[in-house]
Structure 1
């Protein structure tokens, strides 16, 4: 196994607290995996990359914002849902670096200022909210409009796609794949499978490409939180193709295996059914681990269902990459099955 990635990492900013811990989930494994001859479950705690900037997006933004600064940009423009973890992280990173941040958000303008949206405001980001129909059909035009607006003001804007998921952001989880395999080597095992939530595809793309470059046998599965399996199979390959074009590195995309489980999306993006909230509550009680109803809660619930159905029989060690998102718990507070006195 290579001791390092066989590609040179580009310039990055060191914003995250790395390496993040790799922890075993003994009680969850005992309850959901071992009775079905399943694997020991581990969690890579990328929810601990930082405090307010926590989550997987910070790893990507280390490379993205380094490129923005290299180009002498002074304004970051990005997009996402009202409760976007990526937008919240970008807002806080921009504040830390002294950059203006403009967030283009999808949703309703009268929504409560809570969770990630509250942190966007606290970080001083400029926020423009678009109805879902306008956002979905015109995002490229909206980006262009604001880029031209900032250029006209004499500013130097840098656009970041949804989730910082492209050939530049992918570097965050190429580096994370190396870190994760080093964790496993230190603990004396090689994982057979790595799973994560997939919502914009970049984290899954980085892990998939990283495992290929590191020549490890671990399969990578993204549990989709929106769209469908075909969409993410195409999106992962698109991000890797973009990376290939930016770097000149040769990757055989046809032979690349992209595994997506889209059976546990529920009502749609940002929405969850009661079983998801129950899983989030149970995992918090069993392990003191906080999941969220948009990303990690859905993915972990799907994983538990698959374990119970024998999907990972014969696998010895499985790693769940916790991509953060706990601030999204608060706008969903009314959905949790508490006993109220």
Structure 2
């Protein structure tokens, strides 16, 4: 097995590590399966979820290189943007967030949820209409803003891609797999399941960790986005950048499409009723955008396509809010 390349030089400890794993009596699961959950919704408090693990590496590199300001972007209520805003203040950096909206009347945007936390973290926010985002995504706007900040303040600005999804951010979940090995996941489970959305960076990190350690767990990503065809090419690109040219994404991950429901940030009645039931019966709170859709998908798959799984002991990674 060839060694991995381009390992980040820097890491900081924003994440509360060793998040617990415990049995999850998930309603609707066939009796033959045993479901467990890893609580990565407990990687922090306001600074929580899977995005924090990526920022351990991304922000560490920015700080080490002397950056004072950082830019990222995402949807209006982006968990990644909220995590970046809070983490940036923790390490003394200023944050700039480009937030995509569908609403043409910006006066209707309310300061609640992640938007409130962004404000409390002194993030500077820029509203971008979805119609203004082309095939290159937010990248051109990141560059324009970076140049503007350099000209007006004299300070260089670090740019983090949407979701923290690149060859640096992926190390958040490569290292998370190392943590999981110390929790004996290779002996205790047959399959790992995680929510997949966007570029599948969290799934990529878990799958690469699984591959590099020689583990025989099977990694599944239940895709809740409408652009499922981006996941495999994105993971292949990460593998290439890490020097794993001989490895193909399709051989180390199983992407399961079709669970986006009504679309990003939109919920069906079935999804909301399911999330409510899970909370009432198990005490686990799922969010309606990501984990709620994925867990509903997991239950449906276990009842209709159980042959997809390697075994009967399944670990779901709760990636937080």
Q: Same fold (TM over 0.5)?
A: yes
Residue 167 of structure 1 contacts residue 241 of structure 1 at CA under 8 Å; is this kept in 2? no
Tell me, in whole angstroms, the C-alpha distance in 1 between the residues paired with 2:216 and 2:182.
14
Q: Which moved more, 1:120-129 or 1:268-277?
A: 268-277
- Cα deviation per residue 1:92-146 (whole Å; 9 max; x = unaligned)? 0011111000000001333221111111111110000111111345522211100
Tell me the residue number matched to 1:176.
Answer: 176
Residue 241 of structure 1 contacts residue 253 of structure 1 at CA under 8 Å; is this kept in 2? no
C-alpha distance 298-255 of structure 1, shift in aligned 2 (>3 A)? closer
Superposition deviation, residue 310 in structure 1: 4.3
TM-score, normalised relative to structure 2: 0.91
Structure 2 unaligned runs (5+)? none
Tell me the residue number matched to 1:60.
Answer: 54
Task: Say whether residues 1:215 and 2:214 are aligned partners.
Answer: yes
C-alpha distance 191-238 of structure 1, shift in aligned 2 (>3 A)? same
User: Per residue, is there more helix in 1 or in 2?
Assistant: 1
Structure 1 unaligned runs (5+)? 326-341
Root mean square deviation of aligned Cα: 2.1
Query: Equivalences for 1:231-242 in 2 at 5 Å?
Result: 231-242=230-241
Counterpart of 1:73 (choices 67, 76, 82) is 67
Q: Which runs of 4+ in 1 moved over 4 A?
A: 5-9, 248-251
Tell me, in whole angstroms, the C-alpha distance in 1 between the residues paired with 2:273 and 2:249.
39
Task: Say whether residues 1:150 and 2:152 are aligned partners.
Answer: no
Tell me the residue number matched to 1:121.
Answer: 119
C-alpha distance 154-21 of structure 1, shift in aligned 2 (>3 A)? same
Residue 283 of structure 1 contacts residue 290 of structure 1 at CA under 8 Å; is this kept in 2? yes
Tell me the residue number matched to 1:13.
Answer: 12
C-alpha distance 254-122 of structure 1, shift in aligned 2 (>3 A)? closer
Query: Equivalences for 1:66-145 in 2 at 5 Å?
Result: 66-107=60-101, 108=103, 109=106, 110-137=108-135, 139-145=138-144
Counterpart of 2:280 (choices 261, 268, 285) is 285
Q: How many residues align?
A: 311
Tell me the residue number matched to 1:337.
Answer: none
Tell me the residue number matched to 1:264.
Answer: 259
Paired residue secondary structure (1:41): strand
Tell me, in whole angstroms, the C-alpha distance in 2 between the residues paired with 1:52 and 1:240.
31
Tell me, in whole angstroms, the C-alpha distance in 2 between the residues paired with 1:250 and 1:73.
32
